[in-house]
Amino acid sequence: MNYSFPRNFRWGSAASSTQTEGASFEGGKGESIWDHWYKEQPNRFHNDVSSTDASTFYNNYKADIQLMKDIGHNSFRTSISWSRLIPDGAGEVNQEAVDFYNNVINELISKNIEPFICLYHFDMPLAMQNIGGFENREVLDAYAHFAEVCFKLFGDRVKNWFTFNEPIVPVEGGYLYDFHYPNVVDFKRAATVAYHTVLAHAKAVDKYRTMNCDGQIGIILNLTPSYPRSQNPADLKASNVCDLLFNRSFLDPCVKGEYPQELIELLAQHEQMPIVEPGDCELIAKGKIDVLGVNYYQPRRVKARENAVHPDAPFMPEHFFDYYEMPGRKMNPHRGWEIYEKGVYDILTNLRENYGNLPCYISENGMGVEGEEKFLVDGQIQDDYRINFIRGHLEWLHQGIEEGSACFGYHLWTFIDNWSWANAYKNRYGFYQLDLKTQKRSVKKSGEWYAQVSQNNGF
Ligand code: BGP
């Protein structure tokens, strides 16, 4: 074996409630923004497929957990749907949801699969969005209450909690780039939602601490490194702004308990600062995490802007940079994303050198493939490209650990091909192929390979 991993290394995969459960209108679940947006604009979803058609985990969790076991999972991350547990977001707890999540958690534990539970994966209850979502501070309290309910109900068995998955994405999707509901395009409102999400996170961490829970709590961030085209100061400035806006806007407050001064100055200079109320800074300082989940798919490459911004254009992050296509970059042609395995090592090194080397794991990494049926041979998807992708990233992850990074696990996105927001079933990521008509799950070559890697704790 060339790459052997530390003892107790966590091998598994990640998914989320909305993307796997299905049964969106069953079991007493309330509507989320996804149920609502689909009703309003089904055409915004790839092939008009809604999350109600997600892969039936709600009814099928037992068999699915056995499939996890079959490919060597010792850990699995999913999320608790806020609108399933508390249908109105802030009212009564739904007992059918309590039973369902208890069953899932107990089933995982009985199979020696450690549950990693996230509290928010893009799925705002509609009732909460109707009063402004994370623009409204009342919703932060409702979220903190939801978190407290989860800690009380499941904290005796769940020891790894995550407040948010990729909190920058609902900011980008919902308030900047129009790929999530409520489809607003407004930088200042986006900045407010991002800021309030940090406050909501801190409120949940604070609850966790005051309840004296026996476990660890963190957040999952998509820490896309921002690489400049060159070392020219203008290119460096462009990449630094990206890092501030997209990475450090969450990483710094969650790990260090405070915002980078440079980010505050940037927003103030452009009149985009959210309203800071008395007590906010003290609250943010209480949101420091024990553990960080890192999602990494592709690098962000940028350069200085080549043209002036149009005077009537809405103020956007792209005010500060242009995207850069590096000649000779390696691509995943099936998703149109660059593959840059060393990115994982660069993230770990940054966390080690600048963020106190806090315990972390790779909470998502993966390769989406559109039209993956074309790789079917004798009934099995021969996804050697995915095996190479995972191997390449694990090699760099291993290098990071050798140099002292506190990385304790690797989760692939995802377990079974799943429904992915507006992209629905366009890009397939799973260890298991899903037949959309029959819901049949079939292990891909990568799933079998991963079982070996997990069993040998390396490759
Ligand atoms: C991540 C999200 C996941 C998942 C994945 C794949 O950023 O955390 O929820 O959707 O992206 O996305 P896509 O299907 O758009 O390629």
Span 83-110, average pLDDT: 98
CA distance 342 to 300: 13
Indicate the burial class of 62 (C-beta count within 10 angstroms; 0-12, 13-18, 19 or more): exposed
**Is the beta carbon of 420 within 6 A of some atom in ligand 1?**
yes
Query: Which segments of 263-355 are extended strands (E)?
Result: 291-295, 300-303, 322-323, 331-332, 337-338
Task: Look at residue 254 and tell me whether its pLDDT is greater than 90.
Answer: yes
359-389 per-position pLDDT tens digit: 999 999 999 999 999 999 999 999 999 999 9
Structure tokens at 40: 């309003």
How far apart are the CA of 420 and the centre of ligand 1, in A? Answer: 6
Q: How confident is the model at residue 52 (pLDDT cuts 50, 70, 90)?
A: confident
* Of 1, 2, 3, 5, nearest in space to 410 by CA: 5
What lies within 8 Å, CB to CB, of 319 at 6+ separation is 270, 305, 309
Q: Write the residue with the smallest CA distance to atom 11 of ligand 1.
A: 420
* C-alpha pair distances (Å), 8 with each of 109, 161, 410, 454: 16, 18, 12, 10
* C-alpha pair distances (Å), 344 with each of 12, 348, 396: 17, 6, 7
Angle separating helix axes 445-456 and 384-402, nearest 10 degrees: 30
Span 299-303, average pLDDT: 98
- Provide the percentage of residues in the chain whose pLDDT is more than 90: 99
Catalytic annotation, pick one of 21, 31, 114, 166: 166
Q: How confident is the model at residue 10 (pLDDT cuts 50, 70, 90)?
A: very high
121-138 per-position pLDDT tens digit: 999 999 999 999 999 999
Active site residue 318: no
Task: Look at residue 142 and tell me whether its pLDDT is greater than 90.
Answer: yes
Active site residue 364: yes
Contact call for residues 209 and 287 (beta carbons, < 8 A)? no
Q: Which helix (H) or strand (E) holds 108?
A: helix 95-110
Q: Write the residue with the smallest CA distance to atom 14 of ligand 1.
A: 420
What lies within 8 Å, CB to CB, of 143 at 6+ separation is 82, 119, 120, 128, 200, 203, 204
198-236 per-position pLDDT tens digit: 999 999 999 999 999 999 999 999 999 999 999 999 999
Please give the number of the atom of ligand 1 that sits closest to the Cα of 19: 9
**Is the beta carbon of 79 within 6 A of some atom in ligand 1?**
no
How far apart are the CA of 350 and the centre of ligand 1, in A? Answer: 24
CA distance 436 to 455: 30
Please give the number of the atom of ligand 1 that sits closest to the Cα of 421: 10
Please give the single-letter amino acid code of residue 14: A
Q: What pLDDT was estimated at residue 54?
A: 84
CA distance 273 to 350: 27
Task: Look at residue 352 and tell me whether its pLDDT is greater than 90.
Answer: yes
Task: Look at residue 272 and tell me whether its pLDDT is greater than 90.
Answer: yes
Structure tokens at 346: 């660069």
How far apart are the CA of 81 and the centre of ligand 1, in A? Answer: 17
Taking the alpha carbons of 92, 51, 14, 125 in that order, is the dihedral positive or negative? negative
Please give the number of the atom of ligand 1 that sits closest to the Cα of 166: 8
Pocket test for ligand 1, best of 296, 364, 414 (most atoms within 8 A of CB): 364
DSSP-based three-state secondary structure for 124? coil
Please give the single-letter amino acid code of residue 361: Y
Span 323-328, average pLDDT: 98
Residues linked to residue 452 through DSSP beta bridges, in sequence order: none
Please give the number of the atom of ligand 1 that sits closest to the Cα of 222: 7
Q: What pLDDT was estimated at residue 117?
A: 99
Average pLDDT, the chain: 98
Query: Which segments of 258-310 are extended strands (E)?
Result: 291-295, 300-303
Please give the number of the atom of ligand 1 that sits closest to the Cα of 422: 15
Q: Write the residue with the smallest CA distance to atom 3 of ligand 1.
A: 420
Please give the single-letter amino acid code of residue 437: K
CA distance 358 to 216: 12
Q: How confident is the model at residue 1 (pLDDT cuts 50, 70, 90)?
A: confident
Q: What pLDDT was estimated at residue 60?
A: 97
Task: Look at residue 77 and tell me whether its pLDDT is greater than 90.
Answer: yes
Q: How confident is the model at residue 55 (pLDDT cuts 50, 70, 90)?
A: confident
CA distance 393 to 412: 11
How far apart are the CA of 328 and the centre of ligand 1, in A? Answer: 25
The pTM of the full predicted model, rounded to 2 decimals, is 0.98
389-420 per-position pLDDT tens digit: 999 999 999 999 999 999 999 999 999 999 99
- Provide the percentage of residues in the chain whose pLDDT is more than 70: 100
Whether residue 192 is preceded by a cis peptide bond, meaning omega within 30 degrees of 0, is no
* Of 11, 12, 15, nearest in space to 429 by CA: 15
CA distance 455 to 73: 9
**Is the beta carbon of 366 within 6 A of some atom in ligand 1?**
no
Residue with tokens 């200079």: 269
406-456 per-position pLDDT tens digit: 999 999 999 999 999 999 999 999 999 999 999 999 999 999 999 999 999
